Amino acid sequence: MTGIIIQARLGSTRLPGKVLKKIGSKTLLGILIERAKKSKSADKIIVATTENPGDEKIADEARSFGADCFRGSENDVLDRYYQAAKKFGADIVVRITGDCPLMDPKVIDQVIGFYEKNEGDFDYVSNVHPPTFPDGMDVEVFSFKALEQSWKDAKLVSEREHVTQYMAKNPAIFRIGNVAYKQDVSAMRLTVDTAEDFELTKNIFENFSGIDFTLEDILELKKRKPEIFEINSRFERNEGLKKSIEEDKTI
């Protein structure tokens, strides 16, 4: 079974409660679930949130959009993923973060398809090593076996907080593959981590009818209206991971 696991919680430091912010009548999490459900390659959508009482709202929202839900550790996200995958029987795990409501299901299927086509050659496939897709289109696909080995062996805080960090930094242990976009647009920011990100995301949705638009549609919009994409251009990619690595310690 191929399961998309979306990690989400309300405890964001830079934009608290971001995944339950609304565009129109739907939350960012709800929009992401609806877009992810359009994947033709995934069998199940699972939202992995924390056991904190406040994240009951995340669980309720996930279920209201037809996703399954798992609740686990807030800081040990690797354990949260492992336990979620184990509970729902996911042989192939697809990792997406809850702050990516613009995620294109075609990108999801592209990365899953590459993994399945080359399953005997890779344990972990992503489109971020190196990144060529915009930030916010990050998709990682890996076997349950690779997840379990990471869960057993990862010791650093950054390796537990960032689910695939242990896999990505150990190519001698895991066979790693990457999917590249036809051009390098990795400097483009389509994730939601700041108020400026949210404003851009809202502007993008307002330029389309419904939610069934693609990455190519967004890139075309940028050609026509480049000014709306300037609002969040000063932010760096993966600031949270960089901070986590700087503060690393063994646990």
Res. 12 pLDDT band, cuts 50 70 90: confident
Residues 159 and 81: their CA atoms lie apart, in Å, by 12
Structure tokens of 62?
């996930």
Residues 9 and 22: their CA atoms lie apart, in Å, by 15
Residues 6 and 3: their CA atoms lie apart, in Å, by 10
CATH of the domain at 20: 3.90.550.10
Instruction: Please tell me the pTM assigned to this model.
Output: 0.94
Res. 82 pLDDT band, cuts 50 70 90: very high
Q: Which residue has the tokens 């700087």?
A: 246
How many structural domains are present in the chain? 1
Residues 140 and 240: their CA atoms lie apart, in Å, by 17
| Residue 93: per-residue pLDDT | 98
User: Mean pLDDT of all residues in the chain?
Assistant: 95
Residues 63 and 46: their CA atoms lie apart, in Å, by 9
Three-state DSSP state, 3: strand
Res. 135 pLDDT band, cuts 50 70 90: very high
Residue 104 located in a structural domain: yes
| Residue 251: per-residue pLDDT | 64
Residue 6 located in a structural domain: yes
Three-state DSSP state, 124: strand
43-65 mean pLDDT: 97
178-182 mean pLDDT: 98
Q: 238 or 223: whose pLDDT is higher?
A: 223
| Residue 119: per-residue pLDDT | 84
Range scoring the smallest mean pLDDT among 93-102, 146-155, 187-196, 242-251: 242-251
Residue 251 located in a structural domain: no
| Residue 242: per-residue pLDDT | 56
10-24 mean pLDDT: 91
Concatenated DSSP letters for 171-215?
Answer: TTTS-EEE---SS--TT-B-S-SSHHHHHHHHHHHHTSSSS---H
Contacts 24+ apart (CB under 8 A), 164-171: 164/95, 164/124, 164/126, 164/140, 165/241, 166/78, 167/123, 167/124, 167/142, 168/124, 168/126, 168/129
Residue 71 located in a structural domain: yes
| pLDDT, tens digit (0-9, with 9 covering 90-100), for 66-77 | 999 999 999 999
Range of the domain at 238: 2-246
Instruction: Give burial (CB, 10 Å; 0-12/13-18/19+) of 37.
Output: middle
Residue 27 located in a structural domain: yes
Residue 26 located in a structural domain: yes
Res. 234 pLDDT band, cuts 50 70 90: confident
SS3 content of the chain, % helix, strand, coil (to 5): 40, 20, 40
| pLDDT, tens digit (0-9, with 9 covering 90-100), for 181-196 | 999 999 999 999 999 9
Q: Are 115 and 107 in contact (CB under 8 A)?
A: no
Residue 174 located in a structural domain: yes
Q: Are 85 and 43 in contact (CB under 8 A)?
A: no
Residue 129 located in a structural domain: yes
Query: Quick one: residue 6, left, alpha or beta (phi over 0 = left, psi -120 to 50 = alpha)?
Result: beta
